[in-house]
Amino acid sequence: MHIFIRISITSILLAWLITGCQPKTSDWAAQYPHTQNGSFAASVSSSGNYAVVSSLYHGVSLWDLNSNGAIYNWYQTPKDQPFSLFNDGDTNAQADNNFVFATAIAHDDSHAVLADKTNFSLWDIKTGQNQGYWQVRQSKVVYRTKTINGATKQLSIYDVVDENKCLNPSSEKNEHCVVVGNIRAIDVSNEGKHILIGKSNGVVVHINTTTGRRLEFLGHQQVLFDDEQKPFHINNAINSVALSPNGLYALSGSSDQSAYLWSTKTGQVIYKFQHHNRVVQVALDAQARFAFTADTGSQASIWDLTTGNLVSQLQYVNRQEVFSFARFSHNGKMLVTGAPTRKLSLWDVQTGKQIKEWLVSPRKNSRPASAVVYSAAFINNDTQITSESSSGLNEVWDIK
């Protein structure tokens, strides 16, 4: 009898420690449907005035969150639309319809960028007009072959002949044009003057849309050596990127367990933030006060951009916490994060302690009930948060 009581009390205390310290609520202050069947991607502008939402049946919609009205419908790379190249594609390329899975809005609410695996585009928010289509660079490769029972079979493995361009591939030599590095993350600066792209091959590309200047950051492509001093490559895919509002500084997070803050003018590293697991989320404070980097393990860090020193580590109960989004408040005192587990969390920047946590609404009739938090922004003088999730809902949350 006593054993049963002790176990029960222990269970209650554990439950209180886990749930009581992290109050969750699904009580939103306002809710607006933006898609009927969920969304693939979404971004809320830093001001909270706009959101771009990518959905299955309606392309990408730009929403005015103040009036909750859809302003424009955009379609990534419509058929037969010629690319604008900036020396980053095939001059004969023709666009086709592809799945938009990455979006971003400039800090000044002027422009938005959309991306699928190989194409990206820039849009003027005021006019709704397209400002350019681009295709990521293709490389010339030769696929390996293997003879099986006297028949030659082409393998999916290839050797790169020319990484930077693919001109006149020879069918006799089994040469092909392929995209070696797919797009994984994207961001855009004020006035749409700078675009930042993170790719699956560890390359981060900065493009000046005014001059056409293109810079590749290769800091995540370092070659390591084994005990016999033989070179080997690790998984260095870029998982998240952030661009300063003026486009002069970039933050990139990679599966190589590191995040770099670097200059888009020179490509020089300013700070390296080291982790012990894959870095999957990064964010820059718009006023250049802080940076946020988080991995797939237990490290989620806020850094001082004037010194490069650690400000705080987010303190959470779970052994592992994966973030799908992060943004600093306008006053620099709070950080909001999203997760693939419906969690929208508010943190104190200086201490790393959690202030509040909400659960965004799941998609209707989804089993199990789930949703990914894509984006969020502080509104009304940092007293509320507006969010977009894979459920296709825009929701507003009261901080106090």
Q: What is the pLDDT of residues 331-383, one digit of tens each?
A: 999 999 999 999 999 999 999 999 999 999 998 777 788 999 999 999 999 99
- Which of 46, 41, 44 is closest to 285 using CA atoms? 46
Of 348, 325, 330, 335, nearest to 286 (Cα)?
330
pLDDT tens, position by position, 122-131: 999 999 999 9
| Max Cα-Cα span within the chain | 82
Confidence check: pLDDT of 265 > 50 = yes
Give percent of the chain above pLDDT 90. Answer: 65
Q: Which two tokens stand for residue 90?
A: 């095939």
Residue type for 225, please? Answer: F
Residue 327 contacts residue 46 (beta carbons within 8 Å): yes
Give me the pLDDT at residue 231, please: 59
Mean pLDDT of 254-278: 97
- When computed from its CA atoms, the radius of gyration of the chain, rounded to whole angstroms, is 23
pLDDT of 19 higher than 60: no
pLDDT digits (tens, 9 = 90+) for 179-193: 888 999 999 999 999
Q: What is the pTM of this model?
A: 0.85
**Cβ–Cβ under 8 Å, residues 55 and 64:** no
- Confidence check: pLDDT of 140 > 80: yes
- When the pLDDT of each residue in the chain is averaged and rounded to a whole number, the result is 86
